[in-house]
């Protein structure tokens, strides 16, 4: 080792000395040759780099193309997530506004209308005189009944005197017992006749009192169906009946509503209801549910409920049509889906859910149908991705890709 280290400097110096002793032309030639080989190597490396880069880009493009082709081959679907419903459902039902008290006013006796005092729209108080009826036949019958009563009372007085006289004579055996008994019987019979005639007088007096028609309660005259001189038949007669007036009490109104059976369990007394009428846009009137029929109508499958509305100023008119808004508590929170997500199969109603890029068909239980949406009682979760407009050929396990909804009616 020591020898070699000592010899290396000598060799380099020797080579250098040799080069210094060579001609200058040979030295230049050798330097040019070395530079050419260096340039050639650099060029080869550049060409190799270009080839590798081109091959890699082609391989990458081919791989990307294959991935995009495979992705494009998957069916594109639009999805929607179920919408949770509120704990209460607002139902809108038709209702007719009716007076709290309403009644037709009939005559209790036959005759001719002599005079009326109030027309439609008049506010009357209980006991006010509405009309007078002329009843000449009843007046004559009352007069006859009174005359019969006077006759019966005279006969009764005579029978009483005869009875007392015979009772006194019977003590001295001046008359027979049979005569005394006949006198007592005559007295009793006349007494019964007097009682009957009194009842007849009272009857005809009552009929005569019916000539005057009074208001049965405070209210408004909503109809007058007669005029002076009209023939009036009593309300108790078997012929045609004529209601002279129609009276209603508008200070408090009733609204009867038929609630579908599906919502009947959520209807409770004391619930509030909002009434909206076309003639009062943007305004609502609050009422209170006071009672229900507590039975389902077998014909309409509805529950009849009554809602009372205070109307102190008479703003609402009886007979109006109203929309009744009721907030009915639901049994449990449910989901809403567009109707175009449903799949009708022989096994039942299904929806297609996307999980990990694949389709899962889930059976669902429908609830109320709201037209463009349907209530789903069971079968879906809030975070599910449900396919909109699924094809009839879709099956579980099928790979799909999710795209933005673009079709008319699609929900994003």
Query: According to the model, what pLDDT value does residue 118 have?
Result: 94
Among 79-88, 122-131, 247-256, the minimum mean pLDDT is found in 79-88
Rounded to whole angstroms, the Cα distance separating 336 from 327 reads 18
CATH class of 334-402: mainly beta
Rounded to whole angstroms, the Cα distance separating 382 from 360 reads 16
Rounded to whole angstroms, the Cα distance separating 55 from 51 reads 6
Q: Given pLDDT bands bounded at 50, 70 and 90, which one contains residue 8? A: very low
Position 192 pLDDT exceeds 90: yes
Do 373 and 338 contact (CB within 8 A), yes or no?
Answer: yes
Query: Which whole-number Å values give the CA distances from 226 to 106, 151, 244, 325, 370, in the listed order?
Result: 11, 41, 6, 40, 50
Residue 209 CA to its chain's centroid (Å): 51
Ordered by start, the domain boundaries in the chain are 2-72, 111-231, 334-402
- Average pLDDT over the chain reads 81
Query: According to the model, what pLDDT value does residue 328 have?
Result: 84
Closest by alpha carbon to 338, among 268, 387, 271?
387
The pLDDT > 90 percentage for the chain reads: 28
Rounded to whole angstroms, the Cα distance separating 244 from 295 reads 36
Rounded to whole angstroms, the Cα distance separating 120 from 102 reads 14
Position 392 pLDDT exceeds 50: yes
Position 373 pLDDT exceeds 60: yes
pLDDT one-digit tens code per residue, 103-112: 999 888 888 8
pLDDT one-digit tens code per residue, 348-364: 888 888 888 788 888 88
Mean pLDDT value of segment 90-105:
90
Helix axes 177-209, 136-171, angle to 10 degrees: 160
**165: number of Cβ within 10 Å:** 13
Position 64 pLDDT exceeds 50: yes
Mean pLDDT value of segment 20-41:
64
Fold of 111-231: Helix Hairpins (1.10.287)
């Amino acid at each position: 080792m020591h020898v070699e280290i000592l010899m290396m400097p000598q060799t380099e110096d020797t080579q250098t000395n040799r080069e210094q002793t060579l001609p200058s032309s040979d030295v230049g030639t050798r330097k040019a040759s070395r530079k050419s080989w260096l340039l050639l190597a650099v060029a080869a490396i550049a060409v190799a780099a270009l080839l590798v880069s081109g091959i890699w880009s082609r391989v990458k493009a081919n791989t990307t193309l294959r991935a995009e082709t495979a992705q494009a081959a998957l069916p594109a679907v639009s999805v929607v997530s179920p919408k949770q419903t509120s704990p209460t459902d607002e139902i809108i039902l038709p209702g007719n506004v009716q007076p709290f008290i309403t009644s037709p006013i009939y005559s209790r006796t036959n005759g001719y209308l002599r005079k009326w005092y109030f027309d439609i729209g008049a506010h009357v108080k209980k006991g006010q005189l509405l009309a007078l009826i002329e009843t000449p036949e009843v007046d004559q019958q009352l007069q006859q009944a009174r005359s019969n009563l006077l006759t019966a009372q005279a006969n009764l007085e005579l029978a009483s005197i005869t009875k007392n006289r015979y009772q006194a004579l019977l003590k001295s055996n001046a008359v027979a017992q049979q005569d005394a008994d006949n006198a007592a019987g005559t007295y009793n019979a006349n007494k019964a006749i007097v009682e009957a005639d009194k009842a007849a007088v009272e009857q005809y007096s009552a009929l005569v009192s019916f000539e005057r028609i009074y208001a049965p309660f405070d209210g408004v005259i909503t109809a007058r169906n007669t005029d002076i001189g009209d023939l009036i038949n009593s309300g108790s007669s078997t012929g045609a009946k004529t209601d002279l007036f129609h009276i209603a009490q508008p200070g408090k109104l009733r609204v009867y509503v038929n609630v579908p059976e599906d919502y009947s369990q959520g209807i409770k007394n004391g619930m509030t209801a909002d009434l909206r009428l076309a003639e009062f846009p943007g305004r609502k009137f609050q009422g209170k549910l006071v009672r229900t029929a507590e039975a389902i109508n077998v014909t309409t499958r509805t529950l009849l409920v009554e809602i009372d509305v205070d109307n102190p100023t008479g703003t609402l008119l009886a007979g109006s049509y109203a929309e009744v808004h009721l907030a009915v508590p639901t049994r449990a929170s449910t989901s809403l889906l567009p109707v175009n997500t449903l799949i009708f199969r022989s096994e039942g109603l299904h929806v297609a859910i996307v999980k990990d890029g694949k389709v899962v068909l889930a059976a669902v239980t429908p609830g109320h149908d709201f037209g463009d949406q349907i209530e789903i009682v069971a079968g879906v979760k809030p975070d599910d991705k449900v396919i909109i407009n699924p094809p009839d050929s879709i099956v579980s396990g099928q790979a799909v890709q999710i795209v933005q909804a673009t079709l008319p009616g699609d929900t994003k």
